[in-house]
Structure 1
C-alpha cells in the first residue's frame, strides 16, 4: 500500500487564476467507483493523457482526479511560455540527435495545443509571439554568446537584437542585448488549462478537490482511496509531477523547487506611452538564475525570479517570505521601469515543480498497472502535453515514432543525497546562484 503524506498546498494569490471567471462548483469524488483507467493530476500531462486515452478507447470509462481545481496548481502558475527549444541544460547534450528529438516532441505538443485551442475556441491569449533571451551585463552577455553557439549547432533560426531595437518592444533600456527565437508561443496558463479541462471527451469524468490519499494494490489492479470515496481500476496514470514521490515512487530522486512571480494591474494607455512598450512579449534570462519578464496581452507586467527548495511544498513558504519576494520583484521592476514606481503588484504567487540532479525526465511504467511522467525540469507546458499524450499510448500498447523518441530521451532521475544534506545543499546552491547572478536580476 502506498500512502500520500503531503498534498498540494498552493497559495491563494495566483494572478492567472484570479483573472478567470468563477468556476462552477466542483464535482468531488464520493462513494465507490470502477473505471477502466484513472488519471491522477489534471495539469498539462494529466489532461493530455486523459484526452488521448479517450481517443484510443471511446467506450471506456476514464476518470481524471485532481486534489485542487483545474488550473489552480502548477500548470496554471507558470509564466505562460510554451517553448519549442530544448531546455538550456538539454541544449548542452553532446548528441545532436537527442536535441532534435526534444525539439520535435516540443513542436508536436505546440501543434497539439494550437489545434485544441482553435477547435474548442479556448480563450487563453494564445499568441505566436516568439521569445527574447536577454542579457544585462557581462555575465549575461557571456551566457548569451554561449546560447548563440548552441543555436548555431542546433541549426535553428534566431535574431540578435541590440539594446535600442529591444527597447522599442520592451519599453526599457535595461537590457544590453537579446536573442530572439521565433518558435515560442505565449498564453494565459490557467485559462488554457481550464479550457482543456472543459473540452475533454465525453467519456472522461473529472473529479476536482478530490485528493487521492493512497494507492492500494488489489487482486484486480489498484484501489485509489480518497477522503469520501474510492476507485477500483486496472490501470493508473500519474500526471502528478513532484507529488509522484508521495505515492512512494521516484523517492529521493525528485527535488521540489518553487519559483515565484508577481504581476501588475493592466497598464493604462498613458503608462504604456510613458515607457514606449508593446504588449504581448516574453523575455527569459540568458543567465538561468536571472529574471523572466512578460507583458501580457492585457498589458500586465510580470516579474518572475526567486527560487526556493520546498520540501513541504506550499507549506514551506509563509506570508512573510512571500512579502520579501514581492519586495524583490518590485526592485526588479523598478530597475527596468522606474517610470512605473506608482504601479503596484496585485498578485504574488509561487508554483512547485520537480527537477532532478541529472536534469533527466522520467517517463514510463513504474510497476504493473502504474505509469507516470514526472520531472519536467521547469519546462512543463510543452513537455507535459506531449509526455502525457504518449504515456497514454504506452499504457494502451500503442507504438509509433514519437513514443520511441520520448523513450530515447528520458531515463531515471539520479538519486539525491539524504536529508539534511540535500536541503542544505540545494538551498546553498540556490543562494549562490542568486548571488552570482545578481547583476541579471
Structure 2
C-alpha cells in the first residue's frame, strides 16, 4: 500500500484577468461520491488537458476523469501571457539561445506541441481570436538588447530558421510607441487567449466524454490494487494516474529540493477609448517579448469591450508557492513605471487587473516526463514556457502511460533529472539576489 497526503493546495494571487474577460463559465461540476475510471488526470492546465486529449486518441473507449483544484482557467494556465513559442526560449540565457544541435531538436519538439494544440483548437471550434499563428517580436529598447536580437538572429540563421530584424520606425508603426530601437520578428509563435483556449479545450473534452470535476482538489492519493484520489467531496479510483500539476509535484512528495518555484506578474489595462486608440496608433494586435529575458513582455489585444494592453515583468523565487497581496502591490509600481515609459501618451489609462502566476523551473532546464511510481505518471517543470512545454509534457505522459513509442518520448525519458537545489534558505536568498541583479542589468528593457 502507498499513501500520499498532499502537503499544499494551489494558491493563485490576484484575478485571472484573461478569464475575467470571458462570459461566465458553465456551472461547476464538483466531484461527489465514489467514481470508478480507467484514468485520472490531476490538473486541468495545458499539460492535463493535453494528456486527456491524447488519451482520448489512444484509448477512445476508456473512461477518463480530470480533477481540477479550482475552476478551469483560474490557475496558472489562465494567467500566462499567451505566447505559444516554437523557438528556443531559455530564460536563463542572455538571448534565449543555447547549443545549436539541442535547439534544433527542441524547436522540432515545440512545433509538435503547437501542432497538437492547433489540432485541438480546430477540432473544438476555437477561432482566430483564441488561437492564431501570428508570430511574435523580440523588442529591444537598448543597445544591449539590440545586440541580443542580432546575436539571436545569427543563432536562428545557423539553425536554418527565418527571422526579420525591424528598425525603430517599424517598431513604432507596429506598437505606436517610439520606445523600441529594434525588433526581431519570428513567424512560428501561436498567440492565444489563454483562458479562452483552456476553457474551450475543456469543453471539447467534455463533449468527447471526459469527466471534468472543478473545485475538486486532490487531498490524498492512495495505491492498493488500484489508485484512489480523494477530494473533499468524493473519490475516483483508476489503475493509472497522470499528475499534471507542474511545481505542485512537490506537494505530492516527488522531486523535493529539485524544483524551483518562481512567480511572475502582470497587469492589464481597462479598455482603451477610441480617442486613446487614435493617440496611440499602431496595430491593434501584437505580442512582444523582451530582447533581454529579464525584461518586460507586452501585448495589445482586441477584447469584446475594447483594446487592452498587458505588461508582464518581474520574477521572484518563492519556495512556498504562495505570495501575498502586498507583493502584487509592490510589483504594480514597477508595472506602472514600465507602462508609463512605453506609453506616455496614455497617462490617463489605469490598470484594471493585476495578478501573479506560478512557474516551475529546474536548474538544468529540463522537463519531467516520468513514471514516478507504478501507474503514476508526471508531466511537470515547464521552465517558464507552460503553453508549449506543458502541452508537450502532457501528451508525452499520456504516450508513456499507454506505452506508445515516439522519438520525442525517448528524448524526454533520456534527460537527466532536475538538478538538486541548495538548502532552502540559501536557495531563496541566492536566487532572489541573482534575479534582482539580472533585472538591474536589463536596464530599460525592464
TM-score norm. by structure 1 comes to 0.95
Q: Does 1:420 align with 2:425?
A: yes
Q: Which residue of 2 aligns with 1:105?
A: 109
Q: Which runs of 5+ in 2 are unaligned?
A: none
Please point out which of 347, 353, 377 is paired with 1:341: 347
SS at match of 1:212: coil
SS at match of 2:424: coil
1:95-130 deviation digits (Å, cap 9, x = unpaired) = 51x322221121122222222222322244322221
**Distance change (3 Å), C-alpha of 1:36 and 1:243:** same
Q: Does the 8 Å contact 1:7/1:211 carry over to 2?
A: yes
Aligned-partner Cα distance in 1 for 2:55–2:256: 27
Q: Which residue of 1 aligns with 2:312?
A: 304
Q: Which residue of 2 aligns with 1:20?
A: 22
Aligned-partner Cα distance in 1 for 2:134–2:273: 22
Aligned-partner Cα distance in 2 for 1:166–1:438: 19
Please point out which of 160, 165, 169 is paired with 1:164: 169
Q: How does 1:350-429 map to 2 (within 5 A)?
A: 350-408=356-414, 410-429=415-434
Shift of 1:149: 2.4
SS at match of 1:420: helix
Q: Which residue of 2 aligns with 1:289?
A: 294
Q: Does 1:232 align with 2:240?
A: no
* Aligned alpha-carbon RMSD (Å): 1.6
Shift of 1:12: 4.1
Q: Does 1:128 align with 2:133?
A: yes
Shift of 1:9: 1.1
Q: Does the 8 Å contact 1:129/1:280 carry over to 2?
A: no
Q: Which residue of 2 aligns with 1:137?
A: 142
Aligned-partner Cα distance in 2 for 1:101–1:363: 17
Q: Which runs of 5+ in 1 are unaligned?
A: none
Q: Which residue of 2 aligns with 1:37?
A: 39
TM-score norm. by structure 2 comes to 0.94
User: How many residue pairs get matched?
Assistant: 436
Q: Does the 8 Å contact 1:37/1:62 carry over to 2?
A: yes
SS at match of 1:363: strand
Aligned-partner Cα distance in 2 for 1:300–1:140: 25
Q: Does 1:274 align with 2:279?
A: yes
SS at match of 2:369: strand
1:118-174 deviation digits (Å, cap 9, x = unpaired) = 232224432222111011113322322321222122110000101011100011110
1:249-280 deviation digits (Å, cap 9, x = unpaired) = 11111111110010112222322221221111
1:414-438 deviation digits (Å, cap 9, x = unpaired) = 0011121111111111111121113
Shift of 1:224: 1.4
Q: How does 1:172-191 map to 2 (within 5 A)?
A: 172-191=177-196
SS at match of 1:257: strand
1:356-375 deviation digits (Å, cap 9, x = unpaired) = 11111111211211111111
Aligned-partner Cα distance in 1 for 2:290–2:113: 23
Shift of 1:403: 2.5
Q: Which residue of 1 aligns with 2:69?
A: 67
Shift of 1:92: 4.2
Aligned-partner Cα distance in 1 for 2:200–2:416: 31
SS at match of 2:132: coil
